[in-house]
Structure 1
Amino acid sequence: MATRAMALGGLALLAACGSTPIQPPVDSLTVARVMGRDVEVPPLLPESGNSVWPSEDAPRGTIGNPDARVRPGEPPTTRNQERRGSSSPPPMNDVYSGPPPGFQAPNLRPLNPAPAPLAPPPPRADGRVIPTPNGPVVTSTGGPGYATYTTPEGATGIAIPQGGTTTLLDGRGGVRQVPTPR
């Protein structure tokens, strides 16, 4: 029952909203032009004075020049009356004379400390020549504890160094042990 009452109330609100027609603003320049009426608009004229560049303000006190304050009825006072450019040397009284007495610099540590020394790289497993009774084999790629090898005939296999000997496993299932070259 409550749901039906809420639905009827919502429909009544919707009906009330749609009953007022939308009227365009009649005093708008855009509407007057769209309706085809002649509109008289005054031309744009330049303003008097300098509206682009403001007039120069009186000097005011800053952190760098606290004496440049303007007091009512007094002319402004500054340390240096002359203006100088960025390439002009500073006056002698503005030369840096060091930190104030009693100043102690903070103890700063470097942002990037020196890196720890690296361990030497492991010996390369590629490019080694291993002499065998059937001819030398040359190792190519591999990982820790093994390397692949190629024979002069083009056959491939895996070489596993084991101290003083190297075990050669060929692609046909053959296993040979040969002395490891130094």
Structure 2
Amino acid sequence: MKYYILTNDWQYDILLDEKIPDAYDEISMNLGTPLESLPSIDFIVKKREIPDSIPNHQLLLVFSERIREIINKYETRIQYFEINVLNEKKEFITSKQFKLVNLLHIVDAIDYDKSELDIEDGDIFSIDCLILKDNFNFLPIFRLNGFKTLVLVREDLAQEMVNSNCTGIEFYEANGFRI
């Protein structure tokens, strides 16, 4: 089973500001932990045309209805939270319904013997060459245990997103990936 790393496509660098409230500092969307609620988050965009995934420096997954409908065809554990997408005048933009994604699946898929990793005090700081285990839970989308900011997508789901012309995301083959 082939997997890809889902990343932001920065050619769609459309954000003027990411208004993350102070209350958010205590919350992480990268830990795979269910949340009861989330403080309101504002994304202020500088362009009218908004991609299906809004690239941001907080590494938050912000998906349009189109991407969510594709993902929801697969068995996944995901929470969605409302966000505000505003234009420069701070007026709501309603052309697409965007949601913040809390991906709850964390999978131990790294082959530590074959991967080239910079590990300090048990934490992975960088990946020179990622190699996935031959056998792990083959979920359609998940965060990588050990480096939870990385989101892995199974080939069939990635292909469906590409075939649906979803914008704002890029895919890189997981095996051999470096960051």
Q: TM-score band, normalised by the shorter chain? A: under 0.3
Compare CA radii of gyration and give the structure with the larger one. 1
TM normalised by structure 1 equals: 0.15
Q: Which has the higher strand share?
A: 2
Higher RCO structure, 1 or 2 (CA under 8 Å, sep 6+): 2
